[in-house]
Amino acid sequence: MQDSSAAPELRVCAATDLVNGGLGVKVPVSDGSGRTTAFFVRYQDRVHGYLNRCAHVGVELDWEGSFFTRAGDLIMCARHGATYKPDTGLCVGGPCKNGRLTALSVEERDGGVYWRPAGKIRPAEDTPA
């Protein structure tokens, strides 16, 4: 049986828009407490999506869509430098070590990247301003 609280699947971008360790794609979302963004990146050929909220202070992680360290092996918060494993969202360095990003359900198929919203995190268009 399907979860009746699930929102319709959203096509985030073309699969080719995400390259390993490259820029992320951001989508405006609401998480029930306010508006922010979600982000989608590619790491080791797989796509991953997270709520764009650092486990340290709760601000957005990126600087103009850039989420990765220069080496492309970790996600790094632009504010104070916390680092996260791109495939799990686990914080492995910085002020919120052992914290975690909120992972989203993401799938790549037919040349596209798709997010299936669930819980409180929804595309911002779905919610009143």
Binding site for ligand FES (CB under 6 A): 54, 56-57, 59, 77, 79-82, 94-95
Measured CA to CA in angstroms, residue 81 lies from 37, 56, 121, 122 at distances of 19, 10, 25, 27
* Cβ atoms within 10 Å of 84's Cβ, excluding its own: 26
CB crowding 32-43: b at 16 or more within 10 Å, else e: eeeebbbbbbbb
Is 27 or 55 the residue whose CB approaches ligand FES more closely? 55
The distance of closest approach from Cβ of residue 56 to ligand FES in the complex, given in angstroms and rounded to an integer, is: 3
The answer to whether 37 touches 76, Cβ cutoff 8 Å, is no
**Nearest distance from C-beta of residue 24 to ligand FES, angstroms:** 15
- By beta-carbon proximity to ligand FES, the closer residue of 27 and 75 is 75
Q: Identify which of residues 65 and 81 has a Cβ nearer to ligand FES in the complex.
A: 81
**Shortest Cβ 55–ligand FES spacing (Å):** 7
